[in-house]
């Protein structure tokens, strides 16, 4: 799987920081290629773990995901330091370019739950990682109103409370 570094080095450990200095920020635009690579890597992980059972299912799911990513991608204008292709002796220059940034894809409930469990298991700082296989997912992506969200939150908090025996739940 594609894992992120801990961002620690010989001079400084960032394990205790809530926000790591080299951690990508939520909502940061990333190239379509990077998003596709990460999606395919995740699907392969699901196949290795038996969530996607056959090679044919993996191929079909891969094509579906790539199609969703292509449909939801968009072009953005970006300015930054890019390699200079001219032979004028400079190593880089500030340029403007249009870049296709990755979109999103809809994970199935099983994919989302397995990904959640993997993230918890591989977290650099998380309590009870040994319980990652029992982590339950409350998939509320279908909810569209505040009233529905309130009801769902109360209902799922009751399930997580589990008569006083807290069940790991997200």
The DSSP code sequence of 57-84 is: HHHHHHHHHHHHHHHH-EEEEEEEEEE-
Q: How far apart are CA 126 and CA 53, in angstroms?
A: 29
Last residue of a domain, one of 58, 85, 104: 104
On whether both 87 and 136 belong to a single domain, the answer is no
pLDDT for the residue numbered 53: 96
Q: Is the pLDDT of residue 110 over 90?
A: yes
- Mean pLDDT in the chain? 82
pLDDT for the residue numbered 84: 47
Structural domain boundaries, residue 160: 106-170
Last residue of a domain, one of 58, 79, 104: 104
Q: What is the pLDDT of residues 31-67, one digit of tens each?
A: 888 889 999 999 999 999 999 999 999 999 999 999 9
Q: Is 43 contained in some domain? A: yes
Q: What percent of the chain has pLDDT over 70?
A: 72
Q: What is the pLDDT of residues 63-86, one digit of tens each?
A: 999 999 989 888 877 666 554 444
Contact at 8 Å (CB) between 14 and 20? yes
On whether both 76 and 95 belong to a single domain, the answer is yes
On whether both 75 and 112 belong to a single domain, the answer is no
User: Is residue 123 packed enough to be buried (19+ CB in 10 Å), middle (13-18) or exposed (0-12)?
Assistant: exposed
On whether both 150 and 97 belong to a single domain, the answer is no
On whether both 38 and 94 belong to a single domain, the answer is yes
Q: Is 42 contained in some domain? A: yes
Q: How far is CA 95 from CA 73, 85, 101, in A?
A: 22, 11, 17
Specify the number of domains making up the chain.
2
């Amino acid at each position: 799987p594609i894992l992120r570094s801990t961002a620690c080095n010989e001079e400084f450990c960032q394990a205790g920081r809530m926000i790591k200095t080299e951690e990508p920020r939520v909502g940061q635009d990333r190239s379509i290629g990077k998003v596709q690579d990460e999606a395919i890597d995740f699907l392969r992980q699901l196949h290795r773990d038996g969530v996607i059972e056959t090679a044919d299912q993996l191929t079909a799911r891969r094509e579906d995901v790539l199609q969703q990513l292509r449909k939801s991608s968009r072009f953005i204008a970006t300015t930054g330091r890019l390699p200079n292709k001219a032979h004028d002796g400079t190593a880089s220059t500030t340029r403007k370019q249009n870049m296709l940034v990755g979109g999103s894809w809809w994970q199935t409930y099983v994919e989302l739950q397995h990904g959640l469990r993997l993230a918890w298991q591989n977290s650099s700082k998380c309590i009870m990682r040994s319980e990652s296989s029992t982590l339950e997912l409350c998939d509320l992506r279908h909810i569209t109103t505040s009233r529905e969200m309130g009801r769902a939150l109360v209902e799922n908090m009751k399930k997580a409370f589990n008569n006083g025996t807290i069940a790991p739940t997200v």
